[in-house]
Structure 1
């Protein structure tokens, strides 16, 4: 099933609480101002990008802490490897692993193009998302995604979408205050049944070096700001007529780990001088993981991958090596995934290639906050190992949608 072809979109320019205007686009013919009252059920998925579960405390994030304590909470929740932004967001909206969704990882070696590229094109998603499936049922959906590449990869799948603006230089994301303004505007003006929102501030500050006191303050400030905005948003939702049938899903796509300056790993250097490996592999650096693709003769593949595994495991800072088949990352994801230990980071092909101390994509950053709140949610603390991939089947169960032909890989958490 492919995404609907939406060549024409209507545009709504609405006043925003932050001043100026929020520009929303909608599929041609889409209803505005709550004109699709098929059901009173509402689901809002709020992704707090890069948030660690131990950062939700009464002191630093009192609103999130209170919502979690009064909601349906999964303390053992995990992101899915490779724990990067794009694949985890796609898994949230599809409920299937990357080999079925078509999105293997943020950085992949594309054999067809013979180059390392960044995944994030609309055509990468080959599996129907909940944004489309609800539309097929006559319901409306919305996307409010703070990162420019997330906005791009989900394309026009939602009935309504917000193009992040203004974008900060370098990070290419809109601050959470603008994202929240757009979210409220979309609900006020279009009232979609499902809204998928990403808040990127915590992640962007999280990639900074927290060994300095000033940056620690910035990280705490980002946590406090995002917490206050989400707390205010939920309080606002409580005033709406649909609150009793509303579910708010709050989670992160991954958490964050920090490396010391002297704990860099370069597999390019480790493979240098090895006849089976030097010049025979491509490495896509993912911070917490290196993705290795073998480029040599087919007859040498087995020996070369075994050698790459041996050399990698002997390299200081390396935690483990997995095949992309074991991780179900899809045909485009190369051959091996090498994870680093907590406190380390990969930097390939050179030691200066990855100067960012904060990173994710490895087991140290799998633990995430994950809880449900809202008028339709009964409080509970559950020991199940919930994951980002469980969001789509949860949405499907709430709205009474059947599972796709081959089923979801995730599990409904309501």
Structure 2
């Protein structure tokens, strides 16, 4: 993929400016003269479906009522922030997209590393595939590692700034400004945006006191910002051709400070396993990889299963192949129970109470709104998934399914 980019200084509401980058030679807002549909995928990172209501998030609740909602929608457990975003744009499971969990054991590097390189996503996304049809795409991603993962796949992109310390994400106010500026100045056919505040406050939420209040304030603020974006689409005449896909990549669960699971602690006195297992966890799930001699792998996995199943807080154990995680999914996957979290390789590795990646955080909000005649109305009993976003986008624009087809299905 070409790395030649040009920089555009776009206009945000209130007269502020936002810097966007575009592929060299990309048309600037040329598509605005055409009556093609526009799809806006808005990801409310970490939002629970029960948090969308008339009291706390009235604008989102109204959008959900006016469009097509999926109350039984689910994310893919174990697939944390980056992988679920990747599957939204690829429409295929990890064994085909090459994407494991957020962190995984890299045998080439001999260490656990984070999934944050553009080369980690190995399947063509709708961001790229639409460009082959002469359509334009854009990304407004609030998290630095999401921006890194998607790289230059979109025609236009916003590099999140300014970044908050520790969380490495841009506050939703800045994300909202970039979202409006990109629509106003570049007008891409597909725009993929991520609002990260709810997730970041959710990880710190102790389910009580002032931190919980901050999460509620973040929910109310994000609701207002998305409402403002809808108002902008209506006032600018774009609403009649708009399809909004609104969903979360996962929801959120909380654990007490001492309700953690350390499988490394359970394995440390075993002569076979001690020092021969790599741990990559995302709070709700733990990927275990055998790093010892290959001939002993099957015996070691059986031993891991036997010792892990009796550890308090462990919900279930799974073969990564049965979960379709692909070769980078490790040798054994553990889920924790609701109210617990994994903390490996030591109890201090994951001190934050909010976590996801396990079945407790699979339920997500998922609905389709907008003024386009493509948008159906009413609630559906179908179990929509994060995998359904790419085929939905593809159907709107008449894009043929990729080789081998999608693993999700269109919801328009």
Q: TM-score range by the shorter chain?
A: over 0.9
Name whichever of 233-242 and 244-253 sits farther off.
233-242
Hey, what does 1:23 align to over in structure 2? 19
Shift of 1:240: 3.2
Hey, what does 1:412 align to over in structure 2? 410
Give the SS at the match of 1:120.
coil
**Structure 1 residue 149 and structure 2 residue 145: aligned?**
yes
Shift of 1:195: 0.1
User: What are the ranges of 5 or more consecutive residues in structure 2 without an aligned counterpart?
Assistant: none
**Structure 1 residue 235 and structure 2 residue 235: aligned?**
no
- CA distance in structure 1 between the partners assigned to 2:36 and 2:189 by the alignment: 8
Shift of 1:37: 4.7
Shift of 1:15: 3.2
On the 8 A contact 2:388/2:411 being kept in 1, the answer is yes
Give the SS at the match of 2:20.
strand
Hey, what does 2:332 align to over in structure 1? 336
Hey, what does 2:398 align to over in structure 1? 400
Shift of 1:51: 0.3
Shift of 1:120: 1.4
Give the SS at the match of 1:361.
coil
Hey, what does 2:278 align to over in structure 1? 282
- CA distance in structure 2 between the partners assigned to 1:104 and 1:36 by the alignment: 37
On the 8 A contact 1:36/1:139 being kept in 2, the answer is no
Name whichever of 300-309 and 358-367 sits farther off.
300-309
Shift of 1:297: 2.0
* Cα 1:132/1:351, change in 2 over 3 Å: same
**Structure 1 residue 110 and structure 2 residue 106: aligned?**
yes
Hey, what does 1:374 align to over in structure 2? 370
Moved over 4 A (4+): 35-39
On the 8 A contact 2:246/2:368 being kept in 1, the answer is yes
Shift of 1:277: 1.3
- CA distance in structure 2 between the partners assigned to 1:7 and 1:304 by the alignment: 44
* Cα 1:127/1:39, change in 2 over 3 Å: farther
Return the TM-score normalized by structure 2.
0.97
On the 8 A contact 1:38/1:138 being kept in 2, the answer is no
Give the SS at the match of 2:47.
coil
- CA distance in structure 1 between the partners assigned to 2:206 and 2:366 by the alignment: 24
Shift of 1:255: 0.4
Shift of 1:35: 4.3
Return the TM-score normalized by structure 1.
0.97
Matches within 5 A, 1:273-312: 273-312=269-308
On the 8 A contact 1:394/1:411 being kept in 2, the answer is yes
Hey, what does 2:383 align to over in structure 1? 385
On the 8 A contact 2:207/2:254 being kept in 1, the answer is no
**Structure 1 residue 90 and structure 2 residue 86: aligned?**
yes
* Cα 1:356/1:288, change in 2 over 3 Å: same
* Cα 1:81/1:339, change in 2 over 3 Å: same
User: What are the ranges of 5 or more consecutive residues in structure 1 without an aligned counterpart?
Assistant: none
On the 8 A contact 2:79/2:102 being kept in 1, the answer is no
On the 8 A contact 2:77/2:361 being kept in 1, the answer is no
On the 8 A contact 2:5/2:23 being kept in 1, the answer is yes
Shift of 1:234: 1.1
